[in-house]
Amino acid sequence: MKKNIFKTIVCGFAALALTSCANNWLDTEPSNGVGANGALSTDEDLYNVRTGMYYMFKGSSSYYDYYGARMWYYADVRGEDMQSEPSGSRTKSLYNFTYRTASDAPAIWTTPYRLIRRASRIIEAVEGGNITGDAAWIAEMGAEAKVLRALAHFDLVRVYGQTYTADNGASYGVPIVTSALDITATPGRNTVAEVYTFVENELNAAINSGALSTDITTGYVNEWAAKAILARVYLTKGDNANALSLAEDIINNGPYELWANDEYAAAWSKKNGSHLKEPILEIVMTGTTDWVDREGIANLYQESGYADMIMTKTFLNLMSEDMNDCRWGVMVAPKTDDFIEKYGEDRVFLNKYLAMNTFNSLPVIRLSEMYLVAAEAAAKTSDATKAAKYLNAIVLRANPNATPVAEADATVARISKERRKELIGEGHRLFDAMRNNETITRYTSEADQGYHAALNEEARSFDRTFFKVLLPIPQGELDVNPTIAAQQNPGY
């Protein structure tokens, strides 16, 4: 009897031992991937994960709905200065506002959230404190991730949420994500104000941590980029004092300089010696293994590429105020017969980003924008001297022989006009108009239609009360996320 009990116990233990030994034997990993603990243990690992995060920032031929292409043209093609070229198709529905429901509208939703996830993974790993290696470098990479995560939230809330100054941020924004959520998560939207608070806190934390570099770090985030993004955030929010002080900090203390009048047209190319003077944050590409291929913004603007967008007659007329403006240097007339037939010698194609096979860098934020931010913030805080000073830096760079703008004339409207001329094609117009409650008018009658396609009434002239100014939350999200399905933007 005793022997039997003894035998049973031994067998039982053997079975248990077999099970745990079996468990070890049954652990398998794929040959083309590593688990999270293998991916984030040293600072070298973190460096590779950081590269993976920047990939989502740059975009690719599959992920072009953010800075691959769409975030660049979104605000411009919905303004009055750029329009969809009829032969293209990618920008058309954003331009003519013909989408009606969440299922047929374009979206800038999935890639920003993918970027947020990758950034959150890095931040979690850095804050967890278990990565071995150079502490300063690790902290720097963690801070870079914070900045990119904040930028993604800011861009999302600008596209999907009502502009802050319209209702003080009370309406629905986007879900704030601070960690890598799991597959069953279905978060709801935070308010615009909450998102702005989050973005400001994240950017301030990154800047104040001192971990970010203060040198020019081409292709990556540095402290000046964080400050520039924060300046944009404050300006959009209406916190002009903070916007002004940050912009001035960058202008006065940053390692950047404006491109000179004679450098301007050529400096857009990364191969030009003066190129590195202005870009505060830029996306770099080196070859066919890390480019965005044909879907990238560079190819969409080029006449020899997809020729998806041209500048409007309205913009050409605006620029015609001064034919010696150096910014004509990035506007080119058509060279192929079909386009010459349509546009004659009008310089409708924008050549800021060059052709895709030059693998040119794309400046997301430039010093010129900071001058204009400072000017606008100063004008709004009634500091006409500063407003004129910063505005004239841009006006006189464009044409040194132009009449400088007098202090009394350095109004928000005048600055807005200069923004249109300077920042065309860089993704600003719609956001500027919404922030300052301007009306965008494409055309009013056949007489001033220019090259515009026939647009619906609602698309010809609108302001921030037009419901389609906000994109609808995409249908794919509504189908699986009942929380958000109840929070769709009005009108859809």
Write out the residues near other proteins by the rule CB under 8 A: 15, 18-19, 22-23, 25-36, 38-39, 45, 48-58, 109-110, 113-118, 120-121, 175, 177, 180-187, 219-220, 284-287, 289-290, 474, 476-477, 479-482, 484
DSSP 8-state code for residue 465: T
Q: In the bound complex, what is the minimum distance in angstroms from residue 181's beta carbon to other proteins?
A: 4
Q: In the bound complex, what is the minimum distance in angstroms from residue 313's beta carbon to other proteins?
A: 37
* Closer residue to other proteins in complex, CB, 128/252: 128
Nearest CA among 391, 445, 381, 456 for reference residue 422? 391
Nearest CA among 264, 280, 241 for reference residue 394? 264
* Closer residue to other proteins in complex, CB, 190/261: 190
Q: In the bound complex, what is the minimum distance in angstroms from residue 482's beta carbon to other proteins?
A: 8
Quote the strand ranges of 303-413, DSSP E: 309-311, 331-332, 349-350, 362-366
* Closer residue to other proteins in complex, CB, 55/466: 55
DSSP codes of every residue in 236-263:
HHT-HHHHHHHHHHHHHHSS--PPPTTT
The residue behind tokens 């890095």 is 122
Q: In the bound complex, what is the minimum distance in angstroms from residue 250's beta carbon to other proteins?
A: 23
* Closer residue to other proteins in complex, CB, 32/456: 32
Q: Phi, psi (5° rounding) for residue 365? A: -135, 130
Q: In the bound complex, what is the minimum distance in angstroms from residue 156's beta carbon to other proteins?
A: 10
Lookup: tokens for 251: 């202008």
Residue type, 46: L
* Closer residue to other proteins in complex, CB, 125/378: 125
Distance in angstroms (rounded) separating the CA atoms of residues 120 and 264: 38
* Those residues with Cβ within 8 angstroms of residue 396's Cβ, 6 or more apart along the chain or in another chain: 402, 404
Q: In the bound complex, what is the minimum distance in angstroms from residue 109's beta carbon to other proteins?
A: 6
CA angle, corner 162, sides to 190 and 352, nearest 5? 110
* Closer residue to other proteins in complex, CB, 50/232: 50
Nearest CA among 362, 377, 72 for reference residue 230? 377
* Closer residue to other proteins in complex, CB, 128/287: 287
Q: In the bound complex, what is the minimum distance in angstroms from residue 475's beta carbon to other proteins?
A: 11
The three-class DSSP label of residue 21 is helix
Distance in angstroms (rounded) separating the CA atoms of residues 57 and 45: 19
Distance in angstroms (rounded) separating the CA atoms of residues 124 and 119: 9
* Closer residue to other proteins in complex, CB, 57/339: 57
Q: In the bound complex, what is the minimum distance in angstroms from residue 41's beta carbon to other proteins?
A: 12
Q: In the bound complex, what is the minimum distance in angstroms from residue 60's beta carbon to other proteins?
A: 9
* Closer residue to other proteins in complex, CB, 79/472: 472
Long-range contacts, 457-463 (Cβ 8 Å, 24+):
458/97, 459/96, 459/97, 459/98, 463/433, 463/437, 463/438, 463/439
Lookup: tokens for 32: 């083309």
